[in-house]
A and B are shown apart, each in its own frame.
Chain A
Amino acid sequence: MASPTPMEDAIREKITAALQPTRLEIYNDSHLHAHHAPMQGVTSKETHFRLIITSEAFGSKMQPARHRLVYSLLKHEMAQEGGIHALQLRTMTPEEEATRRAQEAGSE
C-alpha cells in the first residue's frame, strides 16, 4: 500500500542514508501555505518542509555548503512537478547542537 507521506519518507530515507544524522526532525508545514498563489492547483499535501538536521557530515562546512548538500540529496523531490516547493533548513554538527543547548539553558 502506498505511503500517505511519500515525500516525507523520501526525505527521511535519503538524508538518513547520506548523512547518518544524530538528529533528524521533519516538519510538514504545507497546510500553512496551502492558500498561497503558487500552490493553486497543487494537490500534494507535502510541499513545504522544515528540517532540523544534526550530523557530523556538516563539520568544516559553512552554512551555504551544508544547505547545498541537503538540496542536492533532495534534488529530484524539489525539481518534480508538484514536489517540494519550500525547504527550511537548520543544520548543525553535534558540537554546535551541544553549544546551542548550553546557551539556551544558560539564558533561561
Chain B
Amino acid sequence: MFSRTIISRAVRQTAARSSAFAAVRPTPLSTPAPATSFLLSLASQRRLLSDAVRQAIDKAVASAPVVLFMKGTPETPQCGFSRASIQVLGLQGVDPNKFAAFNVLEDQELRQGIKEYSDWPTIPQLYIDKEFVGGCDIIVSMHQNGELAKLLEEKGVLLKEEGGQAEGETKE
C-alpha cells in the first residue's frame, strides 16, 4: 500500500540521512546560534510577542532557506507530526547545508512566540525562503501531490548528487 511504502522508506532514508543533518548543521538549539541564544536570554519574560522575540524569530526564519520549527531534534523528534515532517524533508533530499531545525521544546518563548508569529497554533511549522508553508498535514499532502518537490527544486535547496530522492532502496 502506498502510505505504508512511504513510511517504511522514510524511516530508512531518514536513518541514513540523519547523520548528514547532524554532521553538517547541528540543530541550532543544541549549539546555540545567535538567534537562539537571544531567545533563551529572553526566557521568563512576558508572553506577548514582544519586538525582541519577533526579531529573534525573524532571524531564526532567515537562518537557512529551509527552516523547520519542531518538537525535538531531527535525530530524535519528540512528536509524531514533527517526525513525519522531518522524514518528508529527508525523503525530498533537502540539502542539510540549507536546512535548520529549531526545537521549540527547549524554549518557551519560541514555543509560544512562533504560534503568534505565524498565526498558526500548532507545531511543526515549515518555512521556505522566509515564507510560511504550513504544518505537518500540508507538508505531507504537498509531498504526496508533488508540489513540495517542485517548490524545493525551484528554491534550489535540494542535494545535487545522485539524481535525487526517490531512488528506491537504500543499500545496507
Contact = CB atoms under 8 A, between A and B. Distances in A.
A64 B133 contact: yes
A7 to B, nearest CB: 15
A5 interface: no
Interface in A78-92: 78-79, 86-90
A63 B81 CA distance: 17
Contact of B141 (A36, A37, A63): A63
Contacts of A78: 121
B137 A90 contact: yes
A68 interface: yes
Contacts of A36: 79
B contact face: mostly helix, strand, loop, or mixed: mixed
A45 interface: no
A89 B81 contact: no
Nearest to A74: B121
Interface residues of A, number: 17
Contacts of B132: 64
Given A37-B78, A64-B132, A64-B133, A71 B121 contact: yes
B122 A90 contact: no
B122 A86 contact: yes
A63 B121 contact: no
Nearest to A75: B121
A46 to B, nearest CB: 16
Given A86-B122, A87-B122, A63 B134 contact: yes
Interface string B117-135: 0011110000000001111
A87 B122 CA distance: 8
Nearest to B134: A64
Given A33-B80, A64-B120, 17 more contacts: A36-B79, A37-B78, A63-B138, A63-B141, A64-B132, A64-B133, A64-B134, A67-B137, A67-B138, A68-B119, A68-B120, A71-B122, A86-B122, A87-B122, A89-B137, A90-B137, A90-B141
21 contacts: A33-B80, A36-B79, A37-B78, A63-B138, A63-B142, A64-B120, A64-B132, A64-B133, A64-B134, A67-B120, A67-B134, A67-B135, A71-B120, A71-B122, A78-B121, A79-B121, A86-B81, A86-B122, A88-B81, A88-B136, A88-B137
Interface of B: 78-81, 119-122, 132-138, 141-142
